[in-house]
């Protein structure tokens, strides 16, 4: 309801320019920012404490290893599904959205002047070196989630080899941290209707529902693919996790609402943990391990986002993308998706190699970035739904549901 009312009132404010509604933007913007900050302030202690308690409390380290391997497998399977669906749908849907010559020329001009920083794209060596933080505290302060998760997993595994009395002391501390943070998360989530309303109202009031302008074709294509991807997850989870459709949909809804408003999988982590443990009955040992790992490394919609951008840009520049080239782009998008940072529009930072391989101008990424807010509002809920789906499947496969 917060999302719906925010979008409707924001759109009315944008189209009518009523002073009273526009004045509300000055209030809603800081309210939305405060709510997101409140969520993000719980993420680091929640990730660290959940991982340590979930791993170090297990008497069977082989269980943790098996859980990690199964999680990685399902991350790959769902990412491949995303890439294949986008490769099949994007050319088909784009055929229904013809671009006239004037629009194409206008978009090419805007792409030529759009800026995109190639310095933001890390090399393979830089990415690998960055996986192990030289300073774990700095990684936490910088929000570098993947290095922090890797360090925390290593610390928790080392804790399993420590004398029992010392291990119990550390576990009691982090168990207390986890319990306190979850209470805090409950307070923040109780304000979700107001926080999500503030975020969506501000966005709609500033941009309007037709904010894409000349790039409406791209926005329509990206949103359509994201919706199809998310809808595909429901039957897949029902079959693989053996849970009812209603139960899964109800557990996923709060995290989806947070994701829609914030465009951040990371901000949705508290709601994901809440939905997994209370909505689906997933044990803390599984949810506390799988979900932090998922939001750090698994971006379900990223391969599809890259392929949609490639197919649209190729059509815009009249570059032919045959079956072989599309297959090549699909594989590249699948591999690069695991390096996407957990920030709004993160896929655009690492998509340059695909554009270059397809003979497309890298400058076009800057053009797509200009209107990525609207598609990202639909991609992020798909991401968090996939995170919860994998967690539910892992709970069933490991016999811990």
pLDDT digits (tens, 9 = 90+) for 12-23: 887 788 888 788
| Cβ contacts of 148 within 8 Å, gap of 6 or more | 44, 47, 48, 133, 136, 139, 140, 296
Average pLDDT of 324-333?
86
Check residue 233 and give its pLDDT. 93
CA dist., res. 10 & res. 3, Å (int): 10
What are the pLDDT digits (tens) for 199-257? 778 767 766 655 444 467 788 888 889 999 999 999 999 999 999 999 999 999 989 98
Mean pLDDT of the chain: 79
**Per-domain residue ranges for the chain?**
2-397
CA dist., res. 119 & res. 242, Å (int): 45
- N-term to C-term CA, the chain: 31
- Which of 200, 152, 159 has its CA nearest to residue 5? 200
Structure tokens of 229?
A: 């991807």
Is a pLDDT exceeding 70 seen at residue 61? no
Largest CA distance in the chain: 73
Check residue 116 and give its pLDDT. 46
Residue 243: strand, helix, or coil: coil
- Which of 205, 187, 220 has its CA nearest to residue 6? 205
What are the pLDDT digits (tens) for 283-313? 887 888 888 888 877 889 989 999 998 888 8
Domain 2-397 part of CATH 1.10.3860.10: yes
Mean pLDDT lowest for which of 26-40, 120-134, 154-168? 120-134
Check residue 121 and give its pLDDT. 46
Read off φ and ψ for residue 265, nearest 5 degrees. Answer: -65, -35
According to the per-residue pLDDT averaged within each range, which of 132-141, 145-154, 252-261 is highest? 252-261
pTM of the model: 0.69
Is a pLDDT exceeding 70 seen at residue 8? yes
Assign 115 a pLDDT band (cuts: 50, 70, 90): very low
Compute CA 161 distance to the chain's CA centroid, rounded to the nearest angstrom. Answer: 34
Structure tokens of 173?
A: 């501390």
Is a pLDDT exceeding 50 seen at residue 1? yes
Residue 340: strand, helix, or coil: coil
Is a pLDDT exceeding 70 seen at residue 272? yes
Residue 307 contacts residue 94 (beta carbons within 8 Å): no
Compute CA 39 distance to the chain's CA centroid, rounded to the nearest angstrom. Answer: 15
């Amino acid at each position: 309801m917060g999302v719906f009312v925010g979008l409707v009132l924001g759109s009315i404010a944008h189209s009518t320019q009523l002073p009273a509604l526009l004045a509300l933007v000055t209030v809603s913007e800081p309210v939305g920012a405060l709510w997101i900050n409140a969520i993000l302030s719980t993420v680091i202690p929640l990730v660290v404490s959940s991982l340590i308690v979930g791993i170090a409390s297990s008497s069977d380290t082989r269980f943790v290893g098996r859980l990690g391997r199964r999680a990685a497998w399902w991350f790959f399977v769902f990412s491949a599904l995303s890439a294949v669906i986008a490769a099949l749908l994007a050319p088909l849907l784009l055929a229904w959205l013809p671009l006239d010559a004037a629009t194409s020329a206008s978009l090419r001009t805007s792409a030529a002047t759009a800026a995109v920083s190639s310095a933001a794209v890390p090399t393979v060596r830089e990415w690998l070196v960055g996986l192990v933080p030289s300073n774990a505290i700095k990684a936490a302060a910088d929000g570098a989630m993947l290095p922090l998760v890797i360090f925390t997993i290593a610390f928790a595994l080392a804790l399993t080899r420590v004398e029992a009395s010392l291990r119990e002391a550390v576990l009691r501390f982090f168990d207390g941290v986890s319990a306190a943070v979850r209470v805090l998360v409950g307070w923040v989530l109780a304000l979700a209707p107001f926080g999500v309303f503030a975020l969506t109202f501000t966005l709609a009031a500033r941009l309007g529902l037709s904010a894409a302008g000349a790039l409406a074709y791209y926005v329509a294509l990206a949103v359509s693919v994201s919706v199809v991807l998310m809808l595909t997850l429901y039957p897949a989870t029902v079959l693989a996790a053996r849970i009812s459709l209603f139960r899964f949909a109800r557990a996923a809804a709060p995290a989806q609402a947070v994701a829609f408003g914030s465009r951040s999988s990371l901000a949705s982590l508290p709601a994901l943990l809440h939905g997994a443990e209370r909505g689906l009955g997933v044990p803390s040992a599984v949810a506390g391990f799988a979900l932090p790992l998922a939001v750090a490394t698994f971006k379900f919609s990223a391969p599809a986002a890259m392929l949609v951008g490639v197919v649209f840009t190729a059509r815009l520049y009249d570059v032919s993308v045959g079956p072989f080239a599309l297959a090549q782009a699909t594989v590249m998008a699948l591999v690069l998706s695991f390096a996407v940072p957990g920030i709004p529009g993160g896929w655009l930072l690492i998509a340059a190699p695909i554009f270059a391989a397809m003979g497309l101008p890298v400058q076009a990424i800057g053009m797509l970035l200009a209107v990525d807010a609207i598609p990202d509002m639909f991609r992020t809920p798909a991401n968090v739904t996939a995170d919860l789906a994998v967690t539910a499947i892992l709970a069933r496969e490991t016999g811990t549901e």
